[in-house]
Amino acid sequence: MDARRCYEEDVREANRWIEEFAQSYAMGRPLHSRQMLEDIDRQMEEGNEYIYIDDLKGQKQENRMRAPPEWSPKPRETMLVYSSFESVVNNNPQWEETRPWERHPIWISLSPPQLRQEHSLADMHRIFVGWQDVWQKSEACHSLKQYLVDAQLDIAITKVVCFALGSPSYKVENGQEESLVERPHSQYAAALTMAKIFEEKFGRSIRCFTQDPIYNDSDKTFLRSIGFTPLDDPKGFLEVDAQTLVFSVSPNVPVKQIIADVQWPAAMVWNTVREGGEEKKKWKQFSDDDEVWMAPYSTDPDSPRVREMVEHYHSMAFPTDKDDKFGDLTIYLRKGIQ
């Protein structure tokens, strides 16, 4: 068989497998199961040089946890990378013959650390107090409070788990937008507002957890000081239970799909889930010269399972004002469970 025929057969085989995977997903197959996350978390806690994660065919694949001596630069940051349903069923046109079943639902990335300027702990407190005050005086905050106070919640909320709210220590450099500082502090303030509302509504303390791989030690120290418990990935996902409010803002991982697989919570505040459409979409060629292609989905896309999940929730647009620090979010509250 010549090279062209081999390539065409590989493409056909990849497409057949994608169709079979999409069918099994529609039948309920999880892409990110709680069992998988618990196993990854256990292995990471053990501190071994390698951990083993199932690929999409259920075969154990080796993932290095530490960079070998010959790698440069060092040190390397260990980060979990999550595949979305869309990334599995939409092959990059540059590699149509790639075997999609060899992909991992989750794998380990070893990347050079991101060197950036950061605020001192005192500056973080000063900035946070300022933006918390702006938030608390805003019409958006007033509307959010009114909605949650009046809402009929059939499940008592006992905790708030946040994802991807950003680094509170981030310090903008020349040419960067101030929103990189303003948005995280406003979002943490909003999370604390929601927790306080639930404390008053249910007459019990509400714990606040937060997970974002960008956190450094300064971030974690500051977050603890204002009432959050920072969690390493994937502990945030494992913390979610049926009495949780999940708060997620434009994450770089498919938070909605992971939550839909792991645990339907009592409530979510996250990027608005759009009505259904064809999941197999076309890639767009970004540059004719370099043949760079742009994926037809976001980093936190809406899968069929996510859309089916939110049908079991009441929804309302997250209130915004002219000085919006949140983007297009929706509040989802679980309907009564019979």
pLDDT-derived band at 281 (thresholds 50, 70, 90) equals: low
Residue 134 neighbours by CB under 8 Å, 6+ apart: 186, 323
pLDDT tens readout for residues 52-91:
999 888 889 999 998 888 877 666 789 999 999 988 887 6
Tokens of 218: 């300064």
Of 290, 206, 287, the C-alpha closest to 244 is 206
Quickly tell me which residue has 């043949």 as its tokens. Answer: 291
Between the alpha carbon of residue 137 and those of residues 73, 140, 183, 247, 260, the distances in Å are 46, 9, 16, 21, 34
Residue 101 has a pLDDT of 57
Residue 103 has a pLDDT of 72
Residue 123 neighbours by CB under 8 Å, 6+ apart: none
Tokens of 135: 């938030």
| Crossing angle for the helix pair 121-136 and 139-150, to the nearest 10 degrees | 70
pLDDT over threshold 80, residue 171: yes
Exposed e or buried b for every residue in 137-169, given b needs 16+ CB within 10 A? Answer: ebebbebbbebbeeeebebebbbbbbbbbbbbb
pLDDT tens readout for residues 21-40:
889 999 999 999 999 999 99
* Mean pLDDT confidence for 272-286: 66
Q: Is 250 left (phi over 0), alpha (psi -120 to 50) or beta?
A: left
